[in-house]
Each structure stands twice: as C-alpha cells, then as structure tokens.
Structure 1
Amino acid sequence: MRDPDPSVLRIVDELARQEDETGRASISAVARSLGLAQPNVSRALRVFEKERGVQIVGRSPSGSRLTDDGRAVASAGEPVLEAYRNLSEILAALRRHRSASVRIAASLTVAEYVLPPILLSFRRHRPDIEVSLRMENSEHVLERVRERGADLGFIESFERPRDVHYRTFGHDQLVIVALPGDSRAGGGPLSAEDLSQIALLVRERGSGTREVIDRAIPGGARVAAELPSASAIRTAAATGRAPAAISRLAVAEQLRTGALVELPLDPSVSLARPLKVVWPDGRMHEATALFLQEVLSAGRR
C-alpha cells in the first residue's frame, strides 16, 4: 500500500483545527481555507477512507465531525506535516542558493585569457553571486552543459553546437610561433601546404585550438607533440622543441618581448576562430542570465 497522500493529511489537520475552534468540521470551510474546490476535498477524503478502511468524517444533516479514527489520523499526521514543512523550507533555501550561483565550464584558453576580466567586472557589480569555474577542453565543456553539470559553457568552435543554446561573443586568432632563430621567421609567408610539412606542438583532439589548426591544414596538423594546455605548449615552444600552434592571447607577452616570434602566413591560411557561450534548454536562473549579459556586453566593447 502506498504512503498516505500529504494533501489529505493537510485536509484532516485543517478539519481538526476548525473543529477545535468552532465545535464542528466544515468541509466547505476547509476547502476555502486551503484554496481547494469543495468537491475535490470531499473526493479526496472518500478515496482515503476507502483505501485505508477508516472513516475520517462523520456526516449528518447537522454537519460533519471528525470520528475517533479521524482524530487519531490528525494527531499522527501532525509530525508528518511538520516534516514536510521542514523539507519545503530546505528546498526553498537550496533554490535560493542555487539561483545566487553560476557554474561555469570553459575551455582552457577562454578560462585563462578571456574570462578573468569579465569575472572581475561581474564580481564588482554583483558580489552577492557566487561564480565557480571549471576548465576543460571544448568537447568536454559541451558534454557538461548538455548533462546540466554547468549553467554556462565557453568553447572555441566553428560548428553549431547541438542540443544547447549558444551565442558567439568574440573571436580569437591562432598564430604559429617559434624561437627567434627559426629560419622560417624571416622567409616568405607559409601556405597551408607548407604548414603540412612542419611538425607542430598542438593541443589534444577535442580542443578548440586543435580543431582550428586541423581545419586549416590539408589532412590535419603534423604533430610534433600533443600537450594539454596553452601554457604547456608555450613552455615547450620556448625550449625550441618545435614551432607551436597557439592562441595569440597565450603568447602576447612572449611576442612583445621577442622571446618567441610569429611565423608569417599566407592570407589564405585562416586561423581565426569564434568564441561561443552555450547553455542548456530550460529556464535560466536570474544569476546565470546576469552573468551571460555581462559576457555579451564585454564582447560588444
């Protein structure tokens, strides 16, 4: 037998309260008090009485009164209803906390070089909203958003993401960098065919960076080494291990100081990539909507 319906326990509890106050139990008054239709209240009581084999209300031309069994149910139901009220308060508190936080998953490049100023600006405007950030490659970010493990995801991708909403909020440019002494640094622009002959330091498959370089080079990049982050690629490039395909954002300081140089590319080689913010289907919490607005505003500046 299934557990008693809490809505019926509320009806019985209200009947007992009214009977204590007025000396009689009025189903119509209970219906008004609980905001229910009287026929629905009467039907719920009849179903409960039939299923449980007890009579809750004694009905007569002079009115209704709780039976002894009805009194016993009302008394036993009090702690159950109190537990439900406590549960409702806990759930409400969890919703309030949830609505005042934003879970973000972002590709490593976006997390390291694009989001920090946006996060700082948002923190100044809304210190009451907690923002958590998880870094992983674009493919894993999309998986996390689809599974609702993140409220917003940030990826680098040419493809239209499936099963999520998205907006393009900016663009990034990859560059091919090497040590200053690399003979190709002073030569003519490199074509896609030229790049296909050069072993490059690249990110792993599934990352937005790898997607760009593989699209630009016929047959995909020739790999000198696959590394898990822009920082690792930058460090390896600085040792002279091989030229690297990397976001310009990640090597801005090294290009400025001359620690690394950018190899010239033919204009036909496109290494630009769109930056997208994605979110799952369903209602978006206010805090998430506010952070999304901050991101889109930053993209327009």
Structure 2
Amino acid sequence: MTGEAHVPLSHRIPDLGALELLLAVARHGSLGRAARETGVTQPAASSRIRSMERQLGVALLDRSPRGSRLTDAGALVTDWARRIVEAAEAFDAGAQALRDRRDSRLRVAASMTIAEYLLPGWLIALRAERPDTAVSLLAGNSAAVAGRLLAGEADLGFVEGLSVPEGLDGTVIAHDRLVVVVAPSHAWARRLTPLTPQELAAAPLILREQGSGTRQVLDAALAVHGGLAQPLLELSSTTAVKGAAESGAGPCVLSELALGEELSSRRLIKVPVAGVRLRRQLRAVWPSGHRPTGPARDLLSLTARDGRARP
C-alpha cells in the first residue's frame, strides 16, 4: 500500500520570526510596541509585515495614526500563526530536553595508559566546565574500547593502537613512545650499548595482552626482525606489568607516560634500543559519521588544550 505523494510547502509560508511579529502586533495593537518586544526597529517591523502581506497576497493590517488593527484576513492568519508558533515552541522545548538528556551524562571508554595517565586531568577540567554532567569511565585495551563504541556503550573513546579501528573515525590527540625497562638488578641495566632489534625480539618479555595498543605497536615494530619471542608473562594491566618488572622477573616494554615515577626513583631503568621505531599515536575515536557533540565534543576540545598531550 503506497501513501500519498509528499507535497512540499509553498514558498508563500512566512518564517517564524514574521509570524511572531504579527502576533505581537495583535497583542499590542501597535507596530511600534511590537517592534520593541521582538527587538527590531519600527521601520524594519513595518517592512517585514508588508513583505509578509505580499508573500501571502492579502492585507493583514489597517494602519492609522491611532495604531495598527488586524484586518479580517489578518485576524484569521493570526489564529493560524498562533498554532504554528505554539507548535514551534513545543518542538524547541522537546529538542532542548533531548539536548539536556544528552548533556546529563558522558560515557568514556579508554585504553589503559590514557585512562590512568591522561584522562583524570581532562575529566577534572571537564567537571569545571560541565558540573552537571555525570561521567562514567570504562577502561580496557584498545580492542575493547572499539567494541564498546560500536555497541553504543560509549560516547567517546581513546585508543593507542597503530590505526583507527574499523567502523570508527578519529583524530590524533598526542604521541607517545614505548620504552624498554628493567629492574636495577637486571643485566640490561648495566649495558653500555643500545639493544638491537634482534636482541629485543629474541628476549622473553613481560608484555601486555593481545589486543592492547602497546602490544600492537610492539608486534608491528619487531615483525621484520623475527617477531616477538614467547612472552615471559602476559598481563592485562600496566600496573601489573610494572610490578613484575620491578620484582626482577624480566624486561618489559611500556608507555613512557606510565613510567615517570618509576624512572625518576630508579625503581626501573630505561634500556636504550637502536634501529626500531617504538613511537605511537594516541587517538580519540567515535563511531563513523557521528562527530562528537555536547560533553563529548567539549572533552575532545580539552585534549587539544592539554600541554602534556600535544603531538
């Protein structure tokens, strides 16, 4: 069953501003007072009414030194205008309610390094700008972040992988570098020459799990050098990896962002590596075709203003 063909609105339909002006004239019986109420000059108001009369093809006002009075046609048009303006006000109120509901919460999904070392500062800044927005943070590896966004469980995500995951759009918000670190007791802590890519690839390492951005970058960097050896340990959090390395279990490769305290206190020692690129991009991501709005847009803007995270 087919419906009736849609008929587009006539070019003779006045805009809402003109209809609001006509209603103001009807209330006050004066074009001057209607002009003041709607925030335009009297000549502009008069010109707008005359333009509407030409558009509709009927006279709306009888003008006299004592004021402006609606014609019979003007009274009828005013009744129609009132219904249109009331419907527009209801539409506007409904749209505002939708925006308020959207702005009342923000669901963020972030990979572990960003969630632990960058997002707290951004969320504090967002709280100052949007104190009424409730923020929830879901932390996981980059693959989990992409999954949450695609499932509609998050409004904005942050990932550390090699590229924008399929089905998402994104923008680079910062650069980061992976570094090799060991406990002071490890033999590599006393090396006088950098590790070669082959030495790093052949060594059993304490690693993040498959699906993490850190692991993706390391796998790709060492693929041309024989690939990673069997991991010594695979752990699902940066904190756990650092703890295992500090205990002397073996070397690990982590984000430099995550190692500031351990390196400054020399609980872990950075080991130079030559001939392999361990630099990576940190990205904000969102479902393809759905640019962030409301609090998500504001949070994205804050990442660009953060001096610690500038590319």
Tell me the TM-score normalised to structure 1 length.
Answer: 0.67
For 1:201-216, list aligned pairs within 5 A: 201-216=206-221
Report what 1:192 is aligned to.
197
Q: Distance in 2 between matches of 1:134 and 1:278?
A: 14
Distance 1:164 1:291 in 2: 18
**Distance in 2 of aligned mates of 1:250 and 1:207:** 14
In 2, Cα distance between equivalents of 1:29 and 1:257: 77
CA contact (8 A) 2:186 2:250 kept: no
Task: Say whether the 8 Å CA contact 1:185–1:264 is kept in structure 2.
Answer: no
> Structure 2 counterpart of 1:191, which letter?
T
For residues 90-109 of structure 1, the aligned pairs below 5 Å read 93=97, 95-109=99-113
The CA deviation at 1:125 is: 2.7
Distance 1:213 1:32 in 2: 66
Shift of 1:94: 6.0
1:123 aligned residue:
127
Distance 2:96 2:280 in 1: 42
- Contact (CA 8 Å) 1:192, 1:269: kept in 2 or not? yes
Q: Which residue of 2 aligns with 1:171?
A: 175
**1:228 to 2:232 alignment:** no
1:19-34 superposed matches below 5 A? none
Deviation of 1:220 (Å): 3.0
Q: Distance in 2 between matches of 1:161 and 1:139?
A: 8
SS at the partner of 2:126?
helix
Aligned residues: 224
What CA distance in whole angstroms lies between the structure 2 residues aligned with 1:282 and 1:274?
Answer: 22
Q: How does 1:204-283 map to 2 (within 5 A)?
A: 204-217=209-222, 218-222=225-229, 223-266=231-274, 268-280=275-287, 281-282=289-290
| Aligned counterparts of 1:95 and 1:262: Cα–Cα separation in 2 | 48
Alpha-carbon spacing, 1:155–1:264, altered in 2? closer, same or farther (3 Å): same
In structure 2, how many angstroms separate the alpha carbons of the residues matched to 1:182 and 1:284? 46
Alignment RMSD (CA, Å) = 2.7
Instruction: For 1:144 and 1:175, locate their aligned partners in 2 and report how far apart those are by CA, in whole Å.
Output: 29
Q: Which runs of 5+ in 1 are unaligned?
A: 1-27, 36-84
SS in 2 for 1:194: helix
- TM-aligned CA deviation for residue 93 of structure 1: 4.7
